[in-house]
Amino acid sequence: AQKVTQAQTEISVVEKEDVTLDCVYETRDTTYYLFWYKQPPSGELVFLIRRNSFDEQNEISGRYSWNFQKSTSSFNFTITASQVVDSAVYFCALIGGGTSYGKLTFGQGTILTVHP
Amino acid sequence: DAGVTQSPTHLIKTRGQQVTLRCSPKSGHDTVSWYQQALGQGPQFIFQYYEEEERQRGNFPDRFSGHQFPNYSSELNVNALLLGDSALYLCASSGRDFFNEQFFGPGTRLTVL
């Protein structure tokens, strides 16, 4: 079975601080993909990034960066110089190509609040 | 290019009733997945439709059923509603391969009284 754990339920920071959201996953599939989604108060999930299990290169996109470590089954997300507009719920998710084909498994989410 | 659309936005039903939610996928997408998101929780996978058939199913009872039409749009039906069915129901569309990113609609907020 697949499982995604986001241990941080809520994080509160002041604007311009850096913040890291943790994600740990479990899967028996050898081929799988990891995702991060953002859910603002409006409720619509917004896709941020996808990584496959064979590519452990870190990725940076503007103020966002992602650290994928297969050895520790972690896929952490860092926001540099946070802004108030980053306030949202962030979800880490996993999808595999085996028996759970097509089934996106989400973590419980981390509520990020950025104060001015 | 329209994204994923869902209707209705909000719905209020009473226990025992039946409900139908609708979803139109993003242009170019042929696969539709449905998720249930209870308050304060992550989305839970209900099922996925591809080529008008249910390709994958999560741990939901048979009261939850669906359909996909030839134009790739989809419906989610829930029978014999329970109070615990109150949630945000999200539809996502994607390409046919499992690793394609899923694009989500704004959701339907269902309240069961």
pLDDT tens digits for chain B (113 residues)? 679 999 999 999 999 999 999 999 999 999 999 999 999 999 999 999 999 999 999 999 999 999 999 999 999 999 999 999 999 999 999 988 878 889 999 999 999 99
What is d(CA B80, CA B36) in angstroms, rounded to the nearest whole number?
Answer: 16
What is d(CA A42, CA B81) in angstroms, rounded to the nearest whole number?
Answer: 25
**A89: which strand partners?**
A39, A111
Mutation target to probe the B interface, by most B beta carbons within 10 A, among A4, A30, A89, A103 is A103
β-bridge pairing A24-26 and A3-5: antiparallel
Is A45 within 8 Å of A37 (Cβ atoms)? yes
pLDDT at B1: 66
pLDDT digits (tens, 9 = 90+) for A74-94: 999 999 999 999 999 999 999
Closest by Cα among B32, B13, B108, B111 to B70: B32
- 3-state helix vs strand vs coil in chain B, percent to 5: 5, 50, 45
Nearest chain A residue to B9 by CA: give it: A43
Q: Is B90's CB within 8 Å of A45's CB?
A: yes
Give the position of tokens 């190509």: A97
CA distance, residue B101 to nearest chain A CA (Å): 7
pLDDT digits (tens, 9 = 90+) for A90-115: 999 999 878 778 889 999 999 999 99
Is A104 within 8 Å of B45 (Cβ atoms)? yes
pLDDT digits (tens, 9 = 90+) for A2-34: 999 999 999 999 999 999 999 999 999 888 999
Task: Report, as an integer, the average pLDDT of A39-43.
Answer: 90
| pLDDT band for position A58 (cuts 50, 70, 90) | confident
CA distance, residue A65 to nearest chain B CA (Å): 18
Closest by Cα among B21, B18, B37 to B82: B18
